[in-house]
Amino acid sequence: MSVTKTFTRRGAAATLAAVTSIACYPGIAAATAVAPNQPGASASGAAVMPTPATLYSADWSAGLNGWAGSGAWKTLNGMLLSDGTENDDVVTAPWVAAEHADYAVEAEIRVNQGMTGHFGLFARRALDDSGYRGAIGRLTNSKIFNSTSRYYSQIAEGDPFAPDEGWHRYRLEVRGNVITFSVDGASLVTVIDNRYLSGGRVGLYSSSQQMEIRSFRVSALKQGGRQALAIRRDISLTPLIMRAGL
């Protein structure tokens, strides 16, 4: 840990800002305190964390707009819909994570007619259909699947979540070899897997489940892996702000 003191003198007044920065493992941004009225500071003097860069955001206002799937996928009033008539039915976004290995796929989804099947998001999907899925099943268990062109198999099962008739935000993160599936900001299941580490296509899937999707976006993540997972769990980063007058 290092502490850097910066003095700024205007006439007889001076401001002392103690800036504490913590070196982190790959994938975890350092928490840095900044002096009030300086770039990167809020009105209270707290550090302002940058908003993750959006790599892709879906627009269904004029139809599927490049999304590719079966006839069970359609659009209405700017939303993407699944009528639930197909099993293991995938719809793919018109975006490929070419140079971005680490990213998060996030969608606002509402299920119709209760849970009749299962549904979720996929990421790092290759042309042979291999990749990862984050899913909610009929028994409301959260799961992460490894998929191939022939089958998909469960590699992790986490906390249960029972979708109601409201909107919920589902998120699948692929960061290094760490895959995390969460709902409404709460992590449900995380697994470390070394099979698919780069790029790929993104999208959604429905298996006998009617649902509506009103937003879908992909955002960039810092590079990371097992070490990043460990430090997120074990360390709380608290910026230190100090002021002094001379």
pLDDT, one tens digit per residue, over 217-228 is 999 998 765 544
pLDDT, one tens digit per residue, over 64-78 is 999 999 999 999 999
pLDDT, one tens digit per residue, over 26-49 is 333 333 333 444 444 445 445 444
Please tell us whether the domain made up of 54-220 is placed in CATH 2.60.120.560: yes
How far apart are alpha carbons 181 and 150 in whole angstroms? 23
- Percentage of the chain beyond pLDDT 90 is 57
Tell me the CA distances in angstroms from 102 to 107, 114, 219, one per residue in order.
17, 33, 9
Q: What are phi and psi of 228, to 5 degrees?
A: -65, -40
How far apart are alpha carbons 146 and 124 in whole angstroms? 10
What is the pLDDT of the chain when averaged over all its residues?
77
Instruction: List, in sequence order, the alpha helices (H) in the chain.
Output: 226-234
How far apart are alpha carbons 136 and 7 in whole angstroms? 54
State the pTM of this model: 0.72
What is residue 208's DSSP assignment?
S
Q: What is the mean pLDDT of residues 116-123?
A: 94
| Residue 149 pLDDT | 58
- Percentage of the chain beyond pLDDT 70 is 68
Q: Which residue has the higher pLDDT, 147 or 201?
A: 201
The count of other CB atoms within 10 Å of the CB of residue 218 is 21
How far apart are alpha carbons 238 and 246 in whole angstroms? 26
pLDDT, one tens digit per residue, over 142-165 is 999 987 656 678 999 999 999 988
In the chain, CATH 2.60.120.560 covers 54-220
pLDDT at 5 over 80: no
Q: What are phi and psi of 54, to 5 degrees?
A: -85, 120
